[in-house]
């Protein structure tokens, strides 16, 4: 019977899902943020990344315009 000789250096690598995420934390973070962005921006559920970013920029412009209008209306009525 032969004895098994094992050499380990450093930590033992786990080949599960958690280890894949720890190897690529930036990619995991970016994908998580894109999922959250798809929830916030209207009509962006099935959009690619470039379309999603374009719609996000458009949505930000619309929100800024709404905010400007609301500020001016409130200034007119003294609220």
Encode the chain (79 residues) as per-residue pLDDT tens digits: 555 555 555 555 555 555 555 668 889 999 999 999 999 999 888 889 999 999 999 999 999 999 999 999 999 998 7
Is 49 inside a domain boundary? yes
pLDDT value, residue 50: 93
pLDDT value, residue 16: 58
Domain count, the chain: 1
The whole-angstrom separation of Cα 73 and Cα 77 is 6
Q: How far apart are the first and last CA of the chain?
A: 89
pLDDT value, residue 67: 98
pLDDT value, residue 44: 87
What does DSSP assign to residue 51? Answer: H
Is 48 inside a domain boundary? yes
Is 73 inside a domain boundary? yes
**pTM of this structure:** 0.63
């Amino acid at each position: 019977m032969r004895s098994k000789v094992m050499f380990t250096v450093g930590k033992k690598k786990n080949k599960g899902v958690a280890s894949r995420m720890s190897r690529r934390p930036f990619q995991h973070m970016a994908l998580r943020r894109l999922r959250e962005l798809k929830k916030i921006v209207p009509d962006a559920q099935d959009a690619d990344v470039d379309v999603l970013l374009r719609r996000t920029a458009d949505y930000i412009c619309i929100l800024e315009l709404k905010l400007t209008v609301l500020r001016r209306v409130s200034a007119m009525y003294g609220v």
